[in-house]
Amino acid sequence: MITLTDDATTKVGELIAGEGDDNLALRVAVRPGGCSGFSYEMFFDTERADDDLEITYGDIRVVVDPSSAQLLEGATLDYKDGLNDAGFSINNPNAQSTCGCGQSFS
């Protein structure tokens, strides 16, 4: 499963609060595509499949489907708020290579 840093957990909490729905969870997925073979997908979701994996960071629930969980094992989601590298980023030790945009990997 993916781990969230404190900064990422705080930012996701702020974004969920802005949506006004306490039932939302952060879904993190890996999909085929992107310039390196796989791409990350993150969105808020209220739906759960029976085989979804879920982990909680404070009040934040993170949901991952089983096939994505294998590719995200040991990965970390971080959030930076600065002039350089602002936004969410995933550090994935399973990625053998990444593209220049940082949104896809192989």
pTM listed for this prediction: 0.83
d(CA 3, CA 103): 17
User: Cα separation of 50 and 86, whole Å?
Assistant: 35
CB 42 within 8 A of CB 27: yes
> What class does CATH assign to 3-95?
mainly beta
pLDDT tens column, 65-101: 999 999 999 999 999 988 777 899 888 887 765 544 4
Enumerate the β-bridge partners of residue 38.
Answer: 32, 105
pLDDT at 68: 94
